[in-house]
Structure 1
Amino acid sequence: MSIGLFHTRLSISNALLGAPVLTLDLLVDTAHKRVSGIASVFQATWPTVNYREPVWGSFSESKLTANVENHIILTLDGGPSRPPSQIAQTFHLRGILGSDWDSGFVDYRYEEQGQWHEVKHVAVHQAPSEQPHPGPHPQPLYAVAVQQAQTSGDLAQLKTVVQQAEQQVAHEGALRSALEHLKAEIARLEAR
């Protein structure tokens, strides 16, 4: 186990299609045996779940048998309030992890919309770290190019700008309405 302060990201699921997936982004303080971070539960199937709350807790090291490596016993609580308050706690987790913090099993429960959901004996895996979107950054659309194409009535130039916009906004939802407006403008110009 690392000594000092370190970050770990754990994915907790039973690998059944449509089952909830718990992701823990944790900051581990080995000197004080404390843990804090964010718990996120996501389930895409009905009933959908999108739970996210701060969590805190502690851990201890334990040898389960004489010839086996140390294990981590992890205890987490969470909710909109902060420790030491126990008011409105909406998350509880208890588990045993490998000494490297990337394997093990946990039981957890969380409250969403006034109803408690309990998940038992779920496998723990190291989660991939979140990386910024790979590839080149999208370039901004320049209103000048659009205005020039519109005022000159150059339909080919306007179509080129729209094609470039389509490529840029393939993954960007914020510019979709502007793109739809440009497509409508092309249709209006073609109708002339």
Structure 2
Amino acid sequence: MSGVGPIEPGEGTHAWDTHPAEPPAGTPAPPRTPPARLRRLLSDHRRAALAALTTVGLLAACALLYVTRPQEREPAIPEPPFPAQVVDVTYVGEHTVPPGTRPHTLAFEVLLSVDSGPPVTVTRVSQPYAGVSLTSAPRAPFRTKAGSARKIVVTMHVAECGKVPENAGLPFIDVTLRNKRAIQVQSFILGPRYAHDLSRALQVACSNDST
């Protein structure tokens, strides 16, 4: 019988032969997969680099925000008040002159109070009449704290009756005040009762015109 039957495989060409065929000459070799330890090192390096970049970005954003945001200023500490703004002097009344005091001497009591702020020091107490000298008890300088008052005895001695008025219309005393803020000379008008008492005392002192 003639005909063409199935082609018999040649030697070494069996169908169940599982060895891969050799690549043609000139074909580039496939990339080699790095070992697992090297892959871990590369992964750790990438994570560290990403974390560093993230940190740098956050720092840059914070710096930009700090520069562009308006800086908050500390509240300014208010200055203490001027002494003349917190001191008041009021007339209390006549003061009895001790026995043995030289003639033509008269005395009055006033009350000095400090409302607020730092303590106020009185460095001088004076009056406007050239023919009258003045002293105070306590003697200046003396200090008064805020929220308190001090009674002052003002003693006057008439040295020249010709240089004092017969009737004191609006008599005042000058008080030099000092605190942390400033030094001021303040004139205090003590009111009609003081004007009446002072005028009467001056008339009595100069009634015999013996000065």
TM-score by length of 1: 0.24
Larger Rg: 2
Q: Which has the higher contact order (CA 8 A, sep 6+)?
A: 2
